[in-house]
Structure formats: structure tokens, C-alpha cells
Amino acid sequence: MKLTLSDFEIKIPDIKIDNTSEIKIGSYQDYTIQTDACEILQFALESSNDSNNVFLVGPNRSGRRGMTRKIIERISLTQKAPQDLMYVFNFKEEKKPKLLKLPAGEAKNFKSELQSIINSSVQVLNKTMQTEEFQQRLSSLEKEYNEQREKLWSDLRKQAQALGFILEASEKGIVSVPVYDGKKISTSEFENLPEEIKEYFRKNSEKLRELIEKTMVKITEMDKEYWEEVKNLRRYWAAFSLAKLFEPLEKKYLKYSDVFEYLQNLKEDIASHLSQLTSENQNLITYLKEKRYNVNIIVDNSYLQGAPVIEEDNPTFSNLVGRIEYYSQMGLLQTDFTMIKSGAFHRANGGYLIMEAEKVLRKPYAWEVIKRFLSEKEVKIENIQTAEGYSSVESLEPEPLSLTVKVILIGEEWVYNLLRVYDSEFEKLFPIKSQFDYEAELSNENLNKFLAFLSNTVEENDISHFTKDAIEEIIKYSCRMNGNNKRFSLRLGEIKNLLIDSFNISRKNGSSPYITAKDIKDTIKFREKMFSFHKKKLFNAIKEQKIDIRTEGSEVGQINGLTVLDTGDFTFGHPVKITAKSYRSSSEKIINIHRDIDLSGKIYKKSSLIIENYFKHKFSSFIETGFGVSLNFEQVYSIIEGDSATIAETLALMSSIANIPLKQNIAITGSMNQNGEVLPVGGIIEKIEGFYDACKNLNFTGDQGVIIPSKNIDNIVLKDEINEDIQNGKFHIWAIDNIDEGIELMTDYKAGTPNENGEYEEGTFYYYVSENLKKLSKEEKKEKDEKDNK
């Protein structure tokens, strides 16, 4: 069937506006095109089940992330903002900072109020220690202490005197000096005393030593008690002075038990550090303020309206978990609670965390830590070195955070399948799968949603509005991207890039305040120019006959197949010459050169076996001894994959045997089953345009065209230039359902049908194939008989 433009024309529903400024979005949002996916996603997000984490599956550059973010942001606005998070010094266990929580926005106020109180505390304590009442209490304690101490020394001196000694103080401490006849005696004098007197002093000296030791013990205990009382007095006086200072803050945060408890412990600790805080050492005071009495706010939700929506673009271990930083002091690494930094899970707690699955898998430890957090439902801040046990630096153990978050992973199908197959915990942790479609039917409803997408893009990117004819060109481009004239592409990210680029082109053109159809077309041409370097080189080679392609005349055993070349950033089609040569053989032999030298993929090998099976089944009754045919893709030196050349190879093979030429002005593509039925293939747009470009580069005769499978008609979305030549009868497209139709178009012979004896009608294509197979077999048999007779 020869196609006309109406057979594959894009039927765009009526656009009832002159430009996108007239679009009233109302309840429409661009993400509503993905109705099923959005319904599933919304169910998971609004579910009370915290374990309903979502894996959103969709093609790259489909706008999946932007759509997801908009849905989540809309839902998050109906929810309450979560608490602020802060770490403070743990007065009981210094290496285990305490985690405090306050309602959103309160942490900043708490920190400011507390810093003000700390500063005031230093001033108040200094004044308090100078008050007359405190000094009187302190003097009273000192007086009582001195009196008790003096009484002990007085009693000791009396006891020493009774034993014949007096006590004197020296550099070595307390010295006992013997007294005889009312006078102190020296060591030499002591040696001259009678022996019984010396013995008397020796015995009493031992008694005195014991008395001195007992007295010193009592004095030591008394000193300890005195300084403890002084310390308690200072602490009590400080606590009494701080009570009024802290009272308003304690009342304000009384309902937050952990915060109230911290304030109580803080007040006690300030009192216990009274001497340091009232000293003249400003460095010490500053250190206590910054490293002991400070507040480290790790999550401030004061800016939030609703639940947090966090997108983590770089999901490293530390970006997810948080980290503990260090500073160098005297050549050693030091840290404290003020050096604790939050991770994405902290910021997303009480809300939603969005990540790209592929990025997660590319970051060491990231997937494992996500699984651990979601399973244990808590986040513990630690450095990767500590977590893996290879750090020798002393670190902190911050109090963990109880986790309430829903994680949304976004990725392509292969990432989802990889995790599902290789990780047994995946389906438990991510039970919700939301599948984004890559295309949508070109209906009135979907058109309205697409128009809303255009309007949103204009607003979000501050670009000009689009005219009606520009909208039509955008839709055509979207259908072309999708390779379907009835469905447009939902790769909205790529379309958005086109829209933004067209704005820049329109400013350059400067012909209209709106973006017009011409601007869209110019943008598409410009974008193609960016990536078409390899295409230009290849078609130059065709034009210069360095790649041997014929687009005129007829040849036996030679046909123009169509292939697609993907350079990574650009895909284009071009013709390739396929040749077949037949010969006599003692066995049935079809040699596929690329297959037999292992220069082909598995799908291509499958298609070559289908060709063999189809041919042998159709003509087995005409093969007496054997035949040989070889097939080759000329000037192709890379791996061949796919089955879209099945029809072309089969026609070349039969042309070679039948000795009937095939038209070179027609190229053909199509797969085939073993019954000769033509099956659809990919890359139809590129293949048609590839042969068209080849004809334009060689000699455009007006009778050239391509044959495609009928099932690929919906995939035809061509450039205006080709459509115009088709409309004017200068280029042609035929669609076929079976190989017989292809034979008649390529040879002008009827294919032929077998009669009751299995013979084909004389003059048909299959008749000549069968007759020549008989001839090849007879010649081979004759040659064999002649050899046997010799």
C-alpha cells in the first residue's frame, strides 16, 4: 500500500487559544498527565504508614523529578512543620551530646535567650560575690574555721608541754624541742644529759609524734570540710542568684521536659564553675561560653511552611548521615558538640527525602546507610571512618534522632529491577512502585494538560508565551521524539529545554513578542546542528561515493537496507548495501558472513536463522542436492545487531537465486517471522529520512522511496521537507504486511502462489527461484556423477 500524508498525519485536537497567555490553568497541573503514577504516589505520601517509601520509575529527562517535587510540595503544605533540632553539652557524659527538640522556629529564640542569660550570669555572679551579705557569710565560715584550728593547735601545744616539749614551726614543718630545767636544749646538750633523762625524752617524743599526727589528720579533715563549705556556700549563693535569672526561661520551656532538664543541669554546672566564671581569665570564660554553654542548631525549620521536602543531589555517606568536624590544637585533632553537622535525613525528618537511585548506588555506603536508617527508624551521626572502624581519632557519640521520613527514590526501570533482584530487603523498604509513562495519547484532555505544562514553563522560566502555530510545532516535535503520530512524548525535561532554547532563538529573530512556529523550527534545526557532526561526515562520504550506495536502476542480489546509527547524543538513519551471491553446492548452505565471523549480536543471529528456515521450508521440494548462498552487509565493519534487515536479506537472497534484479531506488526495512509475515521495527523515522537524505545527496529522481512494515505507520513523523516531497509525489512510502508484497514492489513481478502440486505459476518470482534451485541442484548432481564415473 502506497501511503499518502493523510495516512500518517498528526491529528492535533483543536487548540482554542491564540497563545499560551490565554491558558487558565485552574486545577490543572503539568504532572497530572501522569494520572496513574501520580495517584499511586499521592496514596503513598498521604498514607499514615511511615514504611510506604516510594520508588518512582520513569525514563530519564521525562520531568519525573519536577513532577514528583510538585506533588510532594503540594501535600507537604497540608502538614505541620517538624521540630527544630539542636545539640547541647551533656554535663553527665561529655562525649555524648544531648539532642534537644523544639517547635519549628523556636530553636533560634532559645539559643538567643540562653546566650543572653549566660552573659548576664557572668555579670550577676561577679556582683553577687562582692555583696556584703556574701562576704559576711564567708567571713563567718572563715572565723569559725580559724577558731577551731587554733584550738587544735593550742591543745597540742599544751600536751607537748606536759610531755616536756615545746612546738616550733620551721621550713621542714613542725619541730618539737625538749625543755629541761625550764630551758630549751640543743642536740649537743641533749647528748650530755643523764641517760635516764634522755630515755624519758625519747619515750615522750614518740607519744608527741603520735599526737601531732592525729592533730594533722584532724586539721586536714577540717580544711577539707571548710573548703567544701566555702564551695557549697558559693554554689548555693550562685544558684540563688541564678534562680531568678533562669526562672522566665524555665517557665517558658517547662512543657519540653528534655529542654527543662537541660536548663536545670546547666544552672547547676554554671554554679559549680563559679570560680572560673568570676576569674580574670577571659579566655577561659569565652571557652566555657562557646564550648560548654553554647547551643548547636543542626536543623532550623523556621522558614518552613508545612513538612520539609529535601532533594539530595549528592547522596554521599556524610551528606546523608551528617558528620563530626575537627579542629587542630597543639598538633592534635579536637572536637566538641558545636562541630556536629546535620545530614539530609535530619533535615527531611518529619517530611520527605527525594534522591536519584542511580546516584545513590554510585556512592560508597550510601545504599547501606539508607537501608539501616529506614529499618531502625533512627539516625545516628558519625563519620565514615568511625562507622567502619578504621579511625584512631577520639570522636563523639551524639544522641540518635528518631526518624519519621518517607524516602522517594527516582530511577529508570533497570535500576529498580537491579535492586529488586539483588537486594532481598528492597521490596520491604520500598513497597510502593510508581511507574511514569513515556508517552500519552494525543487527546483533548491530555492536550489541555500539555498546555498547562507549557504555561507553567513560561512562568517558571520567565520566557515569552507561545503562539498557536508554535504550540502545534511543539506537539509535532514531541510526537517525533516519541516516534508516534498518535502519541506525544512525556520526556518533559527535554521538551522544556527546547522551549527555553526557542526563547533565546526568538529574541535573536526579533520578529514577534511571542515565540512563533518559525522560532521552534529554527531551534530544532540549531539543536540538530549541534549534534549532527557524524551524520554530515557519513553523508558526505555517500555523496563522494566513498560509501557505495546506488539509488537508481536495478541489480541482481543487491538491495538497500536501512540502519540506524546512535552516536550517544544523536541518532540518525542511513542506507546500507546488502548483497547476496548464489552458487552450486553439495549441501544446503546459506552463509551469513557477519554471523559466521562473529561480527553480529544474538538478535541478528536469530533473524538469520529465521531467514534460513523460511527459505528452506518454502523451497525444500525444489532442492534435490543442495545450493549455496552468501549474504553480506557491504562496508560495514562493526557489530551488526537487530532484525530489521530480515526482509531485505531475504529478498537479496531470493533475487540472487532467481536472477531477477531488485530496484535500487527503493530501500526496505522490516522484520519477518517464519511465515513471511512482516513485523514492525524501530527507528522508522530515522530510516526513512536516512534514505531520503542519501537520495538528495546523490541524484533525486522523484521515483525513490522506502518500504516499511504496515504496523509501523503510526511511527511515521517526518520533517516538513520530506512531507512536502511526498505530497508532491517526489518521494514515496509503501507499507507491507508480508514479504510477497515487498517482492512485487521491488521487482514488478508477481510473487506467485503454489498450485496443488506445489509448483509456482510460470513467470512469477517464486517460479524463477524454484526453477533456478532445480538448475543448481542438477548441475551439482551432474558434476558429482562425472567425478564418480572417473
pLDDT tens figures, 108-163: 999 999 999 888 887 777 666 665 566 666 666 667 777 777 777 777 778 877 77
**Residue 680 and residue 315: Cα distance in Å, rounded?**
42
**Residue 704 and residue 349: Cα distance in Å, rounded?**
65
- The candidate with the shortest Cα–Cα distance to 599, out of 572, 652, 636, is 636
Report CA 123 to chain centroid distance, whole Å: 52
Q: Which of 36-45, 492-501, 695-704 has the lowest mean pLDDT?
A: 36-45
Q: Mean pLDDT throughout 359-366?
A: 94
Q: Does 110 or 391 have the greater pLDDT score?
A: 110
Q: What is the DSSP letter of 356?
A: E
**Residue 137 and residue 127: Cα distance in Å, rounded?**
15
- Do 308 and 267 touch, CB atoms closer than 8 A? no
**Element of type H or E holding 80:** none
Q: What is the DSSP letter of 754?
A: B
Q: What is the pLDDT of residue 238?
A: 65
Residue 777 has pLDDT above 60, yes or no: yes
**Element of type H or E holding 647:** helix 646-658
- The DSSP annotation for 538-572 comes to HHHHHHTTSS----SSEEETEEEEEEEEE-SS-EE
- The candidate with the shortest Cα–Cα distance to 454, out of 7, 12, 17, 23, is 23
Q: What is the pLDDT of residue 147?
A: 73
- The candidate with the shortest Cα–Cα distance to 294, out of 117, 43, 122, is 117
CB atoms inside a 10 Å sphere around CB 392 = 6
Q: What are phi and psi of 408, to 5 degrees?
A: -115, 110
Residue 720 has pLDDT above 80, yes or no: yes
3-state per-residue secondary structure call for 571-607: EEEEEEEEEEEEECCCCEEEEEHHHHCCCECHHHHHH
Q: What is the pLDDT of residue 30?
A: 47
3-state per-residue secondary structure call for 693-734: HHHHHCCCCCCEEEEEEHHHHHHCCCCHHHHHHHHCCCEEEE
Q: Which of 228-242, 321-335, 382-396, 613-627 has the lowest mean pLDDT?
A: 228-242
Q: Mean pLDDT throughout 711-717?
A: 97
CB atoms inside a 10 Å sphere around CB 570 = 15
Highest mean pLDDT among 46-50, 215-219, 233-237, 555-559: 555-559
* Grid cell of 195 as nine digits: 641517760
* Grid cell of 101 as nine digits: 527538640
CB atoms inside a 10 Å sphere around CB 206 = 11
**Residue 274 and residue 237: Cα distance in Å, rounded?**
10
**Residue 178 and residue 187: Cα distance in Å, rounded?**
9
Q: Which of 57-66, 230-239, 614-623 has the lowest mean pLDDT?
A: 230-239
**Residue 784 and residue 781: Cα distance in Å, rounded?**
5
Residues 6+ away with beta carbon under 8 Å from 356: 65, 313, 409, 410, 411
Q: What is the pLDDT of residue 650?
A: 96
- Do 558 and 665 touch, CB atoms closer than 8 A? no
For residue 723, give the amino acid letter: N
Under the banding of pLDDT at 50, 70 and 90, the label for residue 206 is confident
Q: What are phi and psi of 367, to 5 degrees?
A: -65, -40
Under the banding of pLDDT at 50, 70 and 90, the label for residue 779 is low
* Grid cell of 705 as nine digits: 522511496
* Grid cell of 242 as nine digits: 541564678
pLDDT tens by residue, 160-184: 777 787 777 766 667 777 777 777 7
Q: What is the pLDDT of residue 232?
A: 62
Q: Mean pLDDT throughout 705-725?
A: 96
Q: What is the pLDDT of residue 171?
A: 65
- Do 719 and 693 touch, CB atoms closer than 8 A? no
Q: Mean pLDDT throughout 673-688?
A: 96
% of the chain surpassing 70 pLDDT: 92
Strands 558-566 and 571-583: antiparallel
Radius of gyration for the alpha carbons in the chain, expressed in angstroms and rounded: 47
- Do 678 and 709 touch, CB atoms closer than 8 A? yes
DSSP β-bridge partners for residue 555: 662
Q: What is the pLDDT of residue 302?
A: 93
Q: What is the pLDDT of residue 32?
A: 66
- In terms of Cβ atoms closer than 10 Å to its own Cβ (0-12, 13-18, 19+), residue 597 is exposed
- Do 629 and 653 touch, CB atoms closer than 8 A? yes
Residue 449 has pLDDT above 90, yes or no: no
Using DSSP, state whether 334 is helix, strand or coil: strand
DSSP β-bridge partners for residue 732: 705
* CA dihedral over 745, 750, 753, 757, signed as positive or negative: negative
The CA-atom distances, in angstroms, between 502 and each of 25, 516, 532, 590, 720 are 22, 9, 19, 53, 18
Angle between helices 646-658 and 602-619 (to 10 degrees): 40
The CA-atom distances, in angstroms, between 440 and each of 18, 36, 443, 482, 487 are 24, 12, 8, 9, 5
Which residue is associated with the grid cell 530544532? Answer: 524
Using DSSP, state whether 438 is helix, strand or coil: coil
**Residue 453 and residue 496: Cα distance in Å, rounded?**
9
**Residue 72 and residue 68: Cα distance in Å, rounded?**
6
**Residue 719 and residue 570: Cα distance in Å, rounded?**
16
* Grid cell of 166 as nine digits: 615545746
State the chain's mean pLDDT as an integer. 87
Q: What are phi and psi of 550, to 5 degrees?
A: -110, 135
Q: Mean pLDDT throughout 709-719?
A: 97
Angle between helices 492-509 and 517-531 (to 10 degrees): 110
Q: What is the pLDDT of residue 237?
A: 61
Q: Mean pLDDT throughout 716-734?
A: 96
Q: Which of 300-309, 438-447, 608-617, 774-783 has the lowest mean pLDDT?
A: 774-783
The CA-atom distances, in angstroms, between 289 and each of 85, 86, 121, 292 are 20, 16, 11, 6
% of the chain surpassing 90 pLDDT: 57
Using DSSP, state whether 664 is helix, strand or coil: coil
Across 731-740, b (16+ Cβ under 10 Å) vs e yields bbbbbbbbbb
Q: Which of 183-197, 479-493, 588-602 has the lowest mean pLDDT?
A: 183-197
Q: What is the pLDDT of residue 416?
A: 95
- Do 466 and 514 touch, CB atoms closer than 8 A? yes
Q: What are phi and psi of 422, to 5 degrees?
A: -100, -5
- Do 490 and 66 touch, CB atoms closer than 8 A? no
pLDDT tens by residue, 27-86: 444 446 788 888 888 888 888 777 789 999 988 877 788 888 888 988 899 899 999 999
- Whether pTM > 0.85 for this model: the answer is no
Highest mean pLDDT among 454-468, 727-741, 756-770: 727-741
Q: Does 328 or 614 have the greater pLDDT score?
A: 614
Where residue 131 falls (left for φ over 0; alpha for ψ -120 to 50; beta otherwise) is: beta
- The DSSP annotation for 466-501 comes to BBHHHHHHHHHHHHHHHT-SSEEE--HHHHHHHHHH
